[in-house]
Amino acid sequence: MNDESREPFKRLFFALDCAPAQRKAIAQWRGALQLRSGRPVPVENFHLTLKFLGAVAVGQIADICTAVASVRTPDARLTVALDRLDVWRRAGVLVLAPEQAPPALLRLVYDLEQALLPFGLEDAPREFRPHLTLARDYRAPVPESTSSPEFFLRADRFTLFESHKGRYRALADWPLGAA
């Protein structure tokens, strides 16, 4: 076994965090769905993933943060409408997603992906599909709702999170717009 394979790592992802009041509103709406399938995502973990990195060597994190600091960000904070409830059958998740992703969000993700290319963190690129996961291991049709989802995730920064034992911890963040 070489030294590199023993280097400690962290499971990382970039995301737009969800404000506490927004989390509460989404959780209440999800509760009204009376889900009979899946495992609800803990309310404190609600976020919109920009880029999943997976297992990253601890020694690479500072370099990743430096590279991401040069990413061109939108001129204003981002607002993403989460106005569609959907089931992604292959992934087994129930999600809130935008009917239409804002162009500024798509540009941010593209620029983030470009900044991370030199690190070789991904075997095969995945298509970016913005969403907020409501439940995992979901194996039922899209649930009926008495009210349509009409949530607006407003972000003035994007964050690098560590996922550890089901909890997410912010490691660093970068402002969006003229902050």
Catalytic residues: 47, 131
Nearest Cα neighbor of 152 from 174, 175, 128, 130 is 130
Contact 46, 120 (CB under 8 A): no
Dist. CA 149–CA 175, nearest whole Å: 27
SS (HEC) of 122-154: CCCCCCCCCCEEEEECCCCCCCCCCCCCCEEEE
